[in-house]
Amino acid sequence: MARVTVLGGGNTAFSIAANLALAGHEVLIWEHPAFAHTLDPIRETLTIRLEGAARTGAARIAQVTTDAATACAWSEVLLCSVPSYAHAAFVAELAPHLRPGHVWALLPGNLGSLAVAQALDGYGVRGVILAESDTAPYVCRKSGPDHAVIWGTVGRLGIGVWPATQTDEVMPLIREFFPVAAAYAHVLEAGLSALNPVVHPPGVLMNAGRLERSRGEFWFYDEGVTPSVVRAIEALDA
């Protein structure tokens, strides 16, 4: 099995790391130093307990670190699942340690590969191949500081690659970790196929009053995606 670096310490990053570790891969988790506390619950045990619809059990993580040099040296494949607003901070930390041939996948990207490519160019970093997916690979959540649950896995994970000429080279690497990965023609197609900007803003805006009154007890899809919200989502998509 392969070595892989997972970037981030949130819901999806923990789920990816655990599921891939249970599949037999050697997984290192890197988190930005400003969020080092997310790794504290697993620093000593190096274990994430995964439940749900994917693999289950105690996943043994090879290493956790906030050292960017260690993370980049561990593997040529970097799987990054963090909010898009974290991409710039991640680039600043990782750029000095990236080398030609690294494959950095944003899961999902939301057109982030274009922003990251521009940022890396500003740092003088050349030869890094970027990829982005149209959605996250799992519907998942941390259920505790060292626990995660995957409620569902996607049937198709659309991937765009930057530069597009490297698509055939990158896709086998991505499929090693996500067998359902399928190539788009380029990252623009992947980004514009993302569900997030079409589904979530209407659902939030049209439920603003309910959200403000909920004090955290709000089930977005179950409560918020009503027939009228669905019509708005479909109109926006069109």
Tokens read off for 3: 């070595």
Comparing CA positions, the residue from 206, 207, 203, 193 lying closest to residue 237 is: 193
Domain residue ranges in the chain: 3-191, 196-237
79 within 8 A of 107, measured Cβ to Cβ: yes
Fold topology of 3-191: Rossmann fold (3.40.50)
pLDDT given at position 150: 97
In this structure, how many other beta carbons lie within 10 angstroms of the beta carbon of residue 237?
A: 11
pLDDT given at position 197: 87
Query: How big is the chain, counted in residues?
Result: 238
Q: What is the 3-state secondary structure (H, E, C) of 67-124?
A: CHHHHHHHCCEEEECCCHHHHHHHHHHHHHHCCCCCEEEECCCCCHHHHHHHHHHHCC
**Which DSSP state fits 127?**
S
Query: How far is it, in rounded angstroms, from Cα 145 to Cα 142?
Result: 7
128 within 8 A of 98, measured Cβ to Cβ: yes
Tokens read off for 22: 């249970």
233 within 8 A of 202, measured Cβ to Cβ: yes
Beta strands in 115-220 (DSSP E): 129-133, 138-144, 147-153, 157-162, 181-183
Q: Identify the burial level of 72 via C-beta atoms within 10 angstroms of its C-beta, where 0-12 means exposed, 13-18 middle and 19 or more buried.
A: buried
Query: How far is it, in rounded angstroms, from Cα 229 to Cα 25?
Result: 41
What tens-digit pLDDT sequence spans the chain (238 residues)?
Answer: 799 999 999 999 999 999 999 999 999 999 999 999 999 999 999 999 999 999 999 999 999 999 999 999 999 999 999 999 999 999 999 999 999 999 999 999 999 999 999 999 999 999 999 999 999 999 999 999 999 999 999 999 999 999 999 999 999 999 999 999 999 999 999 999 998 889 999 999 999 999 999 988 888 888 999 999 999 999 999 9
Comparing CA positions, the residue from 28, 19, 25 lying closest to residue 2 is: 25
161 within 8 A of 151, measured Cβ to Cβ: no
Query: How far is it, in rounded angstroms, from Cα 153 to Cα 136?
Result: 9
